[in-house]
Structure 1
Amino acid sequence: MNYWTDLNMAAAAPEMVLTTALFIVLLLDLWLKDSQRWLTCGLAILSVVVTAAVQGVLWVSESQLAFHDMFILDGMAQLAKIGLYLAVIAVFVYSQSYVQVRNIYQGEFYTLTLFALLGMCIMVSAAHFLMLYLGLEILSLSLYALIALRRDDGKAAEAALKYFVLGALASGLLLYGISLVYGATGSLQLGDVLTATVSAAVNTWLLTLGLAFIVVAIAFKFGAVPFHMWVPDVYQGAPTAVAALVGTAPKIAATVFTFRIMVTGLAASSGEWEQLFLILAVASLVVGNLAAIMQTNIKRMLAYSTISHMGFILLAFLGKETGLEAAMYYAITYALMSALAFGVLMLLSDKDHECENISDLAGLNQKNAWYAFLMLLAMFSMAGIPPLMGFYAKFFVIKALLGQGFVWVAVYAVVMSLIGAFYYLRVVKTMYFDQADTAPETNGQMGSLAKVLLSVNGLLLLAWGILPDSVMNWCVEALVRTY
């Protein structure tokens, strides 16, 4: 038996390269002194770059199944993985000086992040419920440890414990839902589940009950209301470098994860899960935006704004094929916006001061107009102000909703966006018009590469906002090569 060809292992070559590189980094780090930890950072970045290069070399134009139809490589998976690689590289580069001065410049930070990346890659390429669950658990367990990485920080420990308890509950609900779907259809392979549900050869009651449990687990991963309790605590309690990771790449993975289950496996039950998604999205938009207005801690404000943004992604799934393209575009856009916002916060933090309150940004324009402009781009894009990417992300979702006749939902989403613009503009007002006794100092230890990448990050929000079809065409092509 030729395992390479019979199992089509080439389809998972990037994951195998990443796993190998991960263990090399893990082992080499054991022999490094603290003064040599920059090697761990460099090797971690190199590992992701090499994995991305392998992904590019093995780029396929048609969907491929591997490992007895448990793993799939298609357009959606490839686009999502490129987004994941770029997001993780950005987090590594932005956070190097931040983690160094906080005594978390350790191999654990990099190896756990690589483990999280591996879990996300498995999630987006899973064609079987067990693979979906495996990827989700690898991601979740890595994040639990990363959030609690600062052992001397009570807030981080509390946030990690809350996330662990609620995450364990969500995992249990997901497993229970999967077992019910298996009982109803007799299979865990997503294609077989779809075939069974289309032919109506299923136990409808069991399938509907299983679907409800799965939707709850998905809502938890998105941080949708009423399963959002962990999001503000994790964003505020975790080190900003870890919060940047939580707020970027996992959102792309969660979007494709939802696509795999709901569109690939349970499309025949779309009538049921679309109603649940609608309820979750409507609640997330109102709770996320109204709660964010009351926040003075900017990380907590970004957490509540994340809840509202995830409501938009859930709404996109109501828009059929056009909506799926919009969901992917929104996830990529949100990862870019969040990476920029957290990158600026890390830039403005030093060893003795954490930039986490909105008031900490007062007078930033007077101290460094460029960094203030970058934060302005992040805030305006999140608010949905043209011509930035965030505007077109919301526009494409609303357009998809109108195309399916959800007029009142589209109007509601626009109103919620207008309400949400208030707290984003408050941040801009603080940077440009408020005065501080001492203007915020920029982190002098942040390397030139990080500052350049941060600037590119912000300019991409503007450039791809002016030319939105460039990214949308990637999403359309990816979806075409998925079916």
Structure 2
Amino acid sequence: MFGWSELVPAFPEILVLSMACVVLLVGLFTDKKKGGFIVFLSVITMMFAAILTLKDHVAGVEFTKTVIFNGTFIRDEFGDMLKVVVYLLMISVFFYAKQYLRQHDNLQGEYFALLLFATLGIMVMISGHNFIALYLGLELLALSSYALVAYNRNDLNGNEAAMKYFILGALASGMLLYGMSLIYGAVGTLQINEISQAIAGQNNDMFLVLGLIFVIVGIGFKLGAAPFHMWVPDVYEGAPTATTLFIASAPKIAAFALAVRILGQSLDVLMIHWQSMLATLAIVSIIVGNLFALQQTNLKRLFAYSTISHIGFMLLGLVGGAEGIAASMFYIIVYTIMAVGGFGMIVLLSNKGMEADQIADFKGLNQRSGWYAFLMLLLVASMAGFPPLIGFFSKLYVLKAVIDQGHIILAAVAVIFAVIGAFYYLKIIKVMYFEESETDQAIDASFDVKTVLSINALAQLGLLVLLPVLFQYCIRVTGSL
């Protein structure tokens, strides 16, 4: 049995697990057309989880890294920062999901319970200090995500997307687990800190490199990096938009944490091998993502290929040394904020029987609502990396870290295809401002959804005030790993 002192650092995870069960039970007695109390419970859960996570970081108190549960779980500044970002993202997801599910008269407790279980999986991935713990968190997230994609059982596209996601996800999980087993066979331990020490003390690295290859394939799939991106556009398009905006946001934080825990901490001695692999994945992702996005008319598929290119930028940062890891952390945080807002706009413009997932659905948005057109402008311009929005600086930090490490060609290719990619974002802006609207239907949304969406979009400007502080904090927490 574990003592009280070992349970305290894991209180946020215990809270989320408990509330997921509560929400599941409450949902049994809730009308499909209402469900406001379920959303309230879910949002309150994230707020209290944030309080429990941040209480050890109060001013004047020195935070100490804690490893519990026989070395399988770690509480550190890196993990806590990512968890707080996840809580904020999930609050946005809950409000957008409420709007979407009410439009379709299908607001049920199990949907939000699945989101909470998925959040728990993300938290375990972020704090995993052992290969088995990381894998358990990954599978909890994955299984919840499969069910969320197939949530609308009468939607053939959603069922097809869920099946593809499940099959490819199972294959990738198997490869990741096989890679972990090879590494375990070579070093004889599953503990992250012990693996690094064991690798440094031996010369036979054949199984380690082979295991590393399988691990990177698994991580590449979970991130949606090319050439392991086949599931991304189909799942993004086929899943309910409420599910798509979840998959595009918080799980990317978890996959980044997984990459840093495995590659940056346990396999840091093999950096010369995995950096070259990640550089290849990064450039291929940037090229494939931007070129294929140019051809899309479906906005969800466009954002899917856009995600692939953004993941390429994030992976590029991991090639840039210590500062590059901090730049990647900053990039993935900024990207997830942009992504959840972009899909939130699709939810906002959708209504029962029609999802606004075509670029044509945004025609003349400025005529219907100048405010929402401005919000979408901020979001897509930040995704494109237009200055002075926060998306520009996230790309700049990654490129600077890569150039500082001498990878000039990588940076040049990334810049060229980022400029090419700006075209499809400009296409959305053109449609909103320079084409006639095909409908005069009023945009109907609750006050809370409008507020969350406005905060999402305005953050692209507002975060500039905290830009130096945020990036320095990213450098600090990644440097303490």
Q: Is the 8 A contact 1:297 1:356 kept in 2?
A: yes
Give 1:414-425 correspondences, 5 Å limit: 414-425=415-426
1:34-83 C-alpha deviation (Å, 9 max, x unpaired): 35522111111111111111112244722110111110111110000001
Whether 2:181 is the aligned partner of 1:179: answer: yes
Residue 437 of structure 1 is matched in structure 2 by 438
User: How far apart, in 1, do the equivalents of 2:46 and 2:441 lie?
Assistant: 33
Residue 156 of structure 2 is matched in structure 1 by 154
Residue 307 of structure 2 is matched in structure 1 by 306
Whether 2:476 is the aligned partner of 1:474: answer: no
Give 1:50-449 correspondences, 5 Å limit: 50-59=48-57, 61-199=63-201, 201=202, 203-439=204-440, 441-442=442-443, 444=444, 446-449=445-448
Residue 45 of structure 1 is matched in structure 2 by 43
- The residue type equivalent to 2:102 in the other structure is Q
Which SS does the other structure have where 1:354 is aligned?
coil
Q: How many Å apart are 1:90 and its aligned residue?
A: 0.3
- The residue type equivalent to 2:364 in the other structure is G
1:164-212 C-alpha deviation (Å, 9 max, x unpaired): 000000011011101000001000101010001122x263111010000
Give 1:3-14 correspondences, 5 Å limit: 3-5=3-5, 8-14=6-12
1:281-313 C-alpha deviation (Å, 9 max, x unpaired): 111111100000000000000000000000001
- The residue type equivalent to 2:469 in the other structure is S
Which SS does the other structure have where 2:74 is aligned?
strand
1:212-232 C-alpha deviation (Å, 9 max, x unpaired): 000000000111111100000
Residue 26 of structure 2 is matched in structure 1 by 28
Q: Is the 8 A contact 1:240 1:346 kept in 2?
A: yes
Q: How many Å apart are 1:258 and its aligned residue?
A: 0.4
Which SS does the other structure have where 2:320 is aligned?
helix
Q: Residues 439 and 42 from structure 1, CA distance in 2 versus in 1: closer, same or farther, beyond 3 angstroms?
A: same
Q: How many Å apart are 1:437 and its aligned residue?
A: 2.9
Q: Is the 8 A contact 1:386 1:465 kept in 2?
A: no
Paired residue total? 477
Which SS does the other structure have where 1:72 is aligned?
strand
User: How far apart, in 1, do the equivalents of 2:448 and 2:203 lie?
Assistant: 56
Q: Is the 8 A contact 1:244 1:342 kept in 2?
A: yes
User: How far apart, in 1, do the equivalents of 2:225 and 2:353 lie?
Assistant: 34
User: How far apart, in 2, do the equivalents of 1:373 and 1:440 lie?
Assistant: 18
1:123-144 C-alpha deviation (Å, 9 max, x unpaired): 0000100000000000000000
TM-score (norm 2): 0.97
Which has the larger displacement, 454-463 or 425-434?
Answer: 454-463
1:101-121 C-alpha deviation (Å, 9 max, x unpaired): 213311111000000000000
User: How far apart, in 2, do the equivalents of 1:466 and 1:377 lie?
Assistant: 16
User: How far apart, in 1, do the equivalents of 2:2 and 2:422 lie?
Assistant: 57
- The residue type equivalent to 2:263 in the other structure is M
Which has the larger displacement, 54-63 or 261-270?
Answer: 54-63
Q: Is the 8 A contact 2:318 2:324 kept in 1?
A: yes
User: How far apart, in 2, do the equivalents of 1:103 and 1:34 lie?
Assistant: 6
User: How far apart, in 2, do the equivalents of 1:416 and 1:465 lie?
Assistant: 25
- The residue type equivalent to 1:46 in the other structure is I
Which SS does the other structure have where 2:180 is aligned?
helix
User: How far apart, in 1, do the equivalents of 2:2 and 2:361 lie?
Assistant: 60
- The residue type equivalent to 1:75 in the other structure is E
Q: How many Å apart are 1:403 and its aligned residue?
A: 0.7
Which has the larger displacement, 55-64 or 359-368?
Answer: 55-64
Q: Is the 8 A contact 1:185 1:202 kept in 2?
A: no
Which has the larger displacement, 110-119 or 20-29?
Answer: 20-29
Residue 460 of structure 2 is matched in structure 1 by 461
Q: Is the 8 A contact 1:196 1:202 kept in 2?
A: no
Q: How many Å apart are 1:439 and its aligned residue?
A: 4.5
User: How far apart, in 2, do the equivalents of 1:410 and 1:452 lie?
Assistant: 37
Q: Is the 8 A contact 1:364 1:439 kept in 2?
A: no
User: How far apart, in 2, do the equivalents of 1:39 and 1:467 lie?
Assistant: 34
**Could you list the runs of 5+ residues in structure 1 that have no partner in the other structure?**
none
Which has the larger displacement, 299-308 or 456-465?
Answer: 456-465
User: How far apart, in 2, do the equivalents of 1:394 and 1:413 lie?
Assistant: 10
User: How far apart, in 1, do the equivalents of 2:441 and 2:237 lie?
Assistant: 20
User: How far apart, in 1, do the equivalents of 2:52 and 2:182 lie?
Assistant: 38
Q: How many Å apart are 1:100 and its aligned residue?
A: 1.2
1:371-425 C-alpha deviation (Å, 9 max, x unpaired): 0011111110010001111101100000000110001111111101100100001
User: How far apart, in 2, do the equivalents of 1:437 and 1:35 lie?
Assistant: 29
Q: How many Å apart are 1:466 and its aligned residue?
A: 5.4
Q: How many Å apart are 1:359 and its aligned residue?
A: 0.6
Which has the larger displacement, 144-153 or 32-41?
Answer: 32-41
Which has the larger displacement, 223-232 or 41-50?
Answer: 41-50
User: How far apart, in 1, do the equivalents of 2:83 and 2:412 lie?
Assistant: 33
User: How far apart, in 2, do the equivalents of 1:438 and 1:105 lie?
Assistant: 27
User: How far apart, in 1, do the equivalents of 2:217 and 2:48 lie?
Assistant: 36
Q: Residues 122 and 2 from structure 1, CA distance in 2 versus in 1: closer, same or farther, beyond 3 angstroms?
A: closer
User: How far apart, in 1, do the equivalents of 2:184 and 2:121 lie?
Assistant: 23
Q: How many Å apart are 1:440 and its aligned residue?
A: 6.0
User: How far apart, in 2, do the equivalents of 1:177 and 1:319 lie?
Assistant: 24
User: How far apart, in 2, do the equivalents of 1:36 and 1:149 lie?
Assistant: 18
Q: Is the 8 A contact 1:29 1:40 kept in 2?
A: yes
User: How far apart, in 2, do the equivalents of 1:378 and 1:440 lie?
Assistant: 23
Which SS does the other structure have where 1:34 is aligned?
coil
Q: Percent identity?
A: 43
User: How far apart, in 2, do the equivalents of 1:229 and 1:103 lie?
Assistant: 31
1:449-475 C-alpha deviation (Å, 9 max, x unpaired): 111121111111112135521321231
